[in-house]
């Protein structure tokens, strides 16, 4: 189900010339990846490009979230900050 949804998003990205989609903890994230993390002051996002999909998530939330998805996680600590580990998508 989620593979089909991701393929539909990527098709739409091609059709609209979109290189990158970033989705916060919303119903869109649940629909696309089946994950509903708690949204707070710490950034939690799903990043989707044509050849990558994964989460940027605080390390303190990642362990409980990993059991709900096979997508990769890029985790960060409060000491490092979220931008220190942004993937190259």
Residue 6: predicted pLDDT: 96
Residue closest to 33 by CA, chosen among 6, 73, 15: 6
C-alpha triplet 47, 53, 59: angle, nearest 5° = 70
- Report all structural domains of the chain as residue ranges with CATH numbers, in order of start: 2-85 (3.40.350.10)
pTM of the model: 0.85
Q: Is 57 exposed, middle or buried (0-12, 13-18, 19+ CB in 10 A)?
A: buried
Integer Cα distance of 12 and 31 in angstroms = 16
Residues 2-34: tens digit of each pLDDT: 999 999 999 999 999 999 999 999 999 999 999
Residues 47-84: tens digit of each pLDDT: 999 999 999 999 888 888 888 888 999 888 888 887 76
Q: Which pair of structure tokens corresponds to residue 26?
A: 């919303």
């Amino acid at each position: 189900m989620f593979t089909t949804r991701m393929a539909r998003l990527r098709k739409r990205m091609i059709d609209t010339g979109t290189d990158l989609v970033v989705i916060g903890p919303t119903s869109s994230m649940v629909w696309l990846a089946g994950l509903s993390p708690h949204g707070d002051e710490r950034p939690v996002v799903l990043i989707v490009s044509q050849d990558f999909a994964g989460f940027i998530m605080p390390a303190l939330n990642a362990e409980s979230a990993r059991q709900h998805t096979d997508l990769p996680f890029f985790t960060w600590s409060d000491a490092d900050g979220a931008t220190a580990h942004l993937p190259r998508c």
